[in-house]
Amino acid sequence: MMKLSLICVGKLKEQYWRDACAEYEKRLSRFCKLEIKELPERTSLHEEGSDILKNLRGYVLVSAVEGETLGSEAFARLIKNLQDEGKELSFVIGSSHGLCDEVKGAADKKISFSKMTFPHQMFRVVLLEQLYRAFMINSGAEYHK
């Protein structure tokens, strides 16, 4: 079973975001061992970056506006390839201030989900849903239309 770490700067403040994440965590539990690490927001990107770098393991995917944009099927293929290679995956979501260059430089791949900017709490839900969708696509289920 794939090990997947979601490294996030900041906490989910509203209960509805926590509930949505909990639902996708439950759904993902049949496909991967998911660990969500919430790191504190700091006064500088360098301090946040230092915290993030200490928590990276395996193949590192960073959410960055300058990253490659993938469709759901391509994202699913990427997850399947990493899983087939036995890779552990760390996915990074920075703070509302972004990510420092050291974290971006440590990434094996930078991914952008859109040219639009999303609230970080909402993006965590979007990422978990897309991970679930990727595993469902890879399992041949009808979730993805």
Q: Which amino acid is at 83?
A: Q
pTM of the model: 0.94
Residues in the chain: 145
pLDDT, tens digit (0-9, with 9 covering 90-100), for 28-77: 999 999 999 999 999 999 999 999 999 999 999 999 989 999 999 999 99
Q: Which fold has domain 2-137?
A: Alpha/beta knot (3.40.1280)
Read off the tokens for 106: 């440590």
**Confidence band for 145, pLDDT divided at 50, 70 and 90:** low
21-45 in b/e burial notation, b at 16+ Cβ within 10 A? Answer: beebeebbeebbebebeebebeeeb
Q: Where are the domains positioned within the chain? A: 2-137
**pLDDT at residue 144, as a whole number:** 65
pLDDT, tens digit (0-9, with 9 covering 90-100), for 14-26: 999 999 999 999 9
